Amino acid sequence: MNNDASLITIFVGMVIINNMVLTKFLGLCPFFGVSKKLSNAISMGVAVTFVMLLAAIATSVIYNFILLPYDIEFMNIIIYILVIASLVQIVELIIRRTNIALYNSLGIYLPLITTNCAVLGITLINASNSYSIVQSMVSAVGGGLGFTLVLIIMSGIRERLELGDTPKSLRGLPVAFVTASLLALSFMGFSGLL
């Protein structure tokens, strides 16, 4: 049973209408941790998008050619997370060898991409929507871009918030959540787009 949603629908849906962070609540930990500086936000976003794309391809192939035909879909959790963990290790190695500055600026958040709900989340979403391999790729890129977009917006807002006069209890995380709430509210306006 293949899903015949068009690629544009999937892409726009993932980036804006069903934004990973603001509607599906995926990828929150780095969202609140990293998003204070704009440059960090962009590096993080790109890194996550890249891993999501690779993971989506690998898991989609495994799902469509191994799990489904042999009726072992329940193995998806273990296999997906192992694939993601390995991919993150490989990407970490590559970044360390080619761009040490990037490696240092991402710091501990790079291995933490393994536990990023967004990466595993996108692979599970692809499977539950029965996307083909190409659809999964588009979905992953869309999801990653949506994540990056929100990360960038949040970092911009938080940079300003730091300078503002927030009540003591709300300072830091709580006001970030309230900001996210307003952001999510505004994104809901996109729902009539498609």
- Is 156 an interacting residue with respect to other proteins (CB under 8 A)? no
Binding to other proteins by residue 178, rule CB under 8 A? yes
Min dist CB 36 to other proteins, Å, is 11
Site string for other proteins, 45-74 (x = CB under 8 A): ---------------------------x-x
Amino acid at position 54, single letter? L
- 2 forms part of the interface with other proteins (CB under 8 A): no
Here's the x/- map for other proteins, 100-139, by CB under 8 A: it reads as --------------xxxx--xx--xx--xx----------
Q: Residues near 31 by Cβ (< 8 Å), separated by ≥ 6?
A: 21, 147, 150, 151, 154, 180
- What is the phi-psi region of residue 130: left when phi exceeds 0, alpha when psi lies from -120 to 50, beta otherwise? left
Binding test (CB under 8 A) with other proteins, winner from 7, 8, 66, 82:
82
Minimum CB distance to other proteins, residue 106 (Å): 17
Handedness of CA 128, 145, 47, 137 (dihedral sign): positive
Contact 85, 114 (CB under 8 A): yes
Q: Where are the alpha helices (DSSP H) in the chain?
A: 7-12, 28-34, 38-62, 76-98, 100-106, 117-128, 133-163, 173-187
Q: Which of 32, 42, 68, 105 binds other proteins (CB under 8 A)?
A: 32
Distance between CA atoms of residues 131 and 64, nearest Å: 9
Q: Is 34 in the site for other proteins (CB under 8 A)?
A: no
Q: Is 25 in the site for other proteins (CB under 8 A)?
A: yes
Residues 6+ apart with CB under 8 A from 53: 137, 140, 141, 144
Pick one of 23, 42, 50, 159: the residue that binds other proteins (CB under 8 A). 23
List residues binding other proteins (CB under 8 A). 5, 9, 13, 17-18, 22-29, 32, 72, 74-78, 81-82, 85, 114-117, 120-121, 124-125, 128-129, 167-178, 180-182, 184-185, 188, 191-192, 194
